[in-house]
């Protein structure tokens, strides 16, 4: 390798450092490895003879191909894939919907999502394959029961992924039972028992016939005295995601990562149709 190639290689590595730092934030490999550099050099071998001035173009071409191969980044850990309530996981546009099960405005928005967005983003819908909607659990700690109801939603996502959205809708319909005053005289165990009964009405029995038991088991305190339940780590993930994105209230919606303040819980088909028509660009 001559001196010009060495300088070019260093420039590529420097620019890739920026790219890989960003990719690391998306859950991709976050450091420049020898393999990455070899991939760049192999892909852009014809560019290597163009000189140092073309290093940026080499990197751009490699990044463009890599993005196409990887597809759009998914800011959702694999165990929470059931939280994609409408659309396909690889849809290029993302609508993040932060809802609290004990928030009346969240319940109102959830009904509109079910009647308008789910059909529009689902199979046969106008935006199927172009937009996905992700339910983002938004725990509001000033409501003592908020933690319990969101644990229940995450437990359903574990034992019966296809039932997550139907259970969420049922929980919104019964949300008044989990408001502050109705739950003020109940113990955590009693609240979880009520949630298990509701899940039993929505979640199918499954092949083993013990889905309800599996659900209840996920909400039993285990391990150390302060270790939480089996879905505590999933709950922590959702709370950390909200905090790092500065989400304070429910409902809050993000369109492709940016807060869409114009969206209202009172929106109906007309408003959602106009919004999607203006925002979808693929």
More confident residue, 254 or 14: 254
Half-sphere exposure of 103 (CA within 13 A, CB side): 22
pLDDT at 209: 63
pLDDT at 8: 52
Q: Are residues 91 and 34 in the same domain?
A: no
Q: Are residues 84 and 60 in the same domain?
A: no
Q: Are residues 196 and 82 in the same domain?
A: yes
pLDDT at 133: 98
pLDDT at 206: 67
pLDDT at 75: 78
Owner of token pair 């690889």:
90
Average pLDDT over residues 168-188: 98
Which has the minimum average pLDDT: 59-68, 159-168, 211-220? 59-68
**pLDDT greater than 70 at residue 275:** yes
Q: How many domains does the chain have?
A: 2
Exposure b/e, 188-220, CB count within 10 A at least 16 = b: eeebbebbbebbeebbeeeeeeebbebbbebbe
**pLDDT greater than 70 at residue 65:** no
Q: What percent of the chain has pLDDT over 70?
A: 72
pLDDT at 51: 52
Q: Are residues 12 and 131 in the same domain?
A: no
pLDDT at 211: 82
pLDDT at 74: 55
Q: Are residues 17 and 104 in the same domain?
A: no
Q: What percent of the chain has pLDDT over 90?
A: 67
pLDDT class for 69, splitting at 50, 70, 90? very low
Q: Are residues 148 and 20 in the same domain?
A: no
pLDDT, tens only, 135-149? 999 999 999 999 999
SS3 250: coil
**pLDDT greater than 60 at residue 224:** yes
- C-alpha pair distances (Å), 97 with each of 48, 50, 133: 46, 47, 7
Average pLDDT over residues 89-116: 98
pLDDT at 20: 46
- C-alpha pair distances (Å), 58 with each of 8, 12, 15, 51, 81: 10, 8, 10, 10, 35
Q: Are residues 27 and 87 in the same domain?
A: no
Average pLDDT, the chain: 83
Q: Are residues 92 and 161 in the same domain?
A: yes
Task: Please tell me the distance from the alpha carbon of residue 27 to that of residue 245, in angstroms, as a whole number.
Answer: 16
Domain limit, last residue, from 29, 51, 70 = 70
Sheet holding 258-259, edge to edge: 84-86, 131-137, 93-99, 252-255, 258-259
- What range defines the domain where residue 271 resides? 78-279
**pLDDT greater than 90 at residue 116:** yes
pLDDT at 81: 96
Domain CATH for 215: 3.40.30.10
**Per-residue DSSP letters for 55-116?**
HHHHHHHHHHHHHHHH-S---S-GGGGGGEEES-TT-SEEEEEEE-TT-HHHHHHHHHIIII
């Amino acid at each position: 390798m001559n001196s010009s190639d060495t300088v070019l290689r260093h420039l590529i590595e420097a620019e890739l450092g920026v790219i890989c730092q960003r990719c690391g934030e998306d859950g991709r490999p976050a450091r420049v490895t020898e393999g990455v550099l070899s991939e760049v050099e192999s892909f852009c071998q014809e560019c290597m003879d163009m000189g140092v001035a073309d290093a940026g173009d080499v990197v751009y071409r490699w990044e463009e191909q890599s993005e196409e191969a990887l597809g759009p980044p998914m800011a959702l850990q694999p165990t929470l894939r059931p939280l994609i309530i409408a659309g396909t996981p690889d849809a290029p546009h993302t609508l993040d919907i932060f809802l609290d099960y004990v928030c009346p405005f969240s319940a109102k928005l959830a009904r509109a999502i079910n009647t308008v967005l789910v059909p529009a983003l689902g199979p046969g819908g106008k935006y199927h394959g172009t937009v996905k909607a992700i339910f983002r659990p938004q725990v509001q700690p000033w409501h003592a029961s908020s933690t319990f109801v969101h644990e229940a939603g995450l437990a359903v996502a574990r034992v019966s992924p296809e039932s997550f959205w139907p259970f969420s809708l049922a929980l919104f319909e019964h949300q008044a039972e989990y408001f502050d005053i109705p739950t003020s005289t109940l113990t955590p165990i009693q609240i979880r028992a009520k949630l298990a009964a509701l899940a039993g009405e929505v979640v199918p029995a499954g092949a083993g016939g013990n889905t309800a038991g599996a659900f209840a088991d996920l909400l039993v305190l285990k391990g150390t005295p302060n270790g939480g339940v089996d879905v505590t780590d999933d709950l922590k993930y959702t709370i950390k995601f909200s905090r790092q994105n500065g989400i304070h209230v429910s409902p809050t919606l993000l369109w492709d990562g940016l807060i869409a303040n114009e969206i209202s819980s009172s929106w109906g088909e007309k408003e959602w149709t106009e919004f999607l028509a203006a925002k979808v660009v693929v």
